[in-house]
Amino acid sequence: MICFPNAKINLGLHVTGKQSDGFHTIETIFYPIPLRDALEAVESDKTSFTQTGMNLKTTPEENLVMKAYALMSKFHKAPMLAIFLKKAIPSGAGLGGGSADAAFMLKLIDELSNCPISESRLLELAGLLGSDCPFFIRNTPVIATGTGNIFHPTDVSLKGYNLYIVKPPFDVSTKEAYAMVKPQKPPFSLEKLSAIPVREWKHVLFNDFESCVFSKYPYIQELKEKLYAMGAVYASMSGSGSAVFGLFEKTVSSNFSNCFVWKGILP
């Protein structure tokens, strides 16, 4: 059985506070996009893991796919599987590729199992793997609060927009980004975003990580500025970076040397 874990972008990202356990609270919109990995599982006499595509520089045990398999095996019956992951979503980009792989692995095992579990249980298990993993269980646009694990519906739609993603040839550590950011009260409620034309988003929709990340990695800011120069109606860093994205009303082309580039039309 094969599935295709997809990435996400963040529309706005406010770091609103810090809990006693050290985790930060946020407010953002998670929006699924059609940049996908490929994940296949075949029943086998032993469990194995093979990863191709982009180099993740991690051991199989460290990969979130295998962590998802181990978690499911711990609490529910999981068959022996030969697992194959082809990476197309870059890591360290703020696109949620690892979280998507983990969530889709849970769903894939559930489909292969003789004893399917409820969606609420899948959401619970996904939450044990990472704050944004549960988002990929339902995989629809949501306003996320808490640590990124509390979801509220939103009718924000980017259907028909051309999306252009650019990731520089380096990562930004999520831990490093959170260490640099200062929590603050959101200047704008994301619940109001759907009533505002996308062309006006650049005046109201911001990512709190940008100021501190741009100060340390000015090249990321340059990439964002280039997207606007190309005609983007809105551009932003996704998550804590290092990828930036631009929304365009028509197809564009440009050259970004030594960068990962992906473009597509949003469904």
- Active-site residue list: 8, 132
Distance CA(135)–CA(123), nearest Å, equals 8
Residue 54 DSSP code = S
User: C-alpha distances in angstroms, 67 versus 63, 95, 130, 148, 174?
Assistant: 6, 19, 11, 20, 19
Total residues belonging to the chain? 267
The whole-angstrom distance between residue 168's C-alpha and the CA centroid of its chain comes to 17
User: C-alpha distances in angstroms, 36 versus 5, 98, 142?
Assistant: 5, 11, 19
N-to-C CA span, the chain: 24
Left, alpha or beta for 146 (phi > 0: left; psi -120 to 50: alpha)? Answer: left
The whole-angstrom distance between residue 146's C-alpha and the CA centroid of its chain comes to 16
**Angle 255-256-260 from CA coordinates, rounded to 5°:** 125
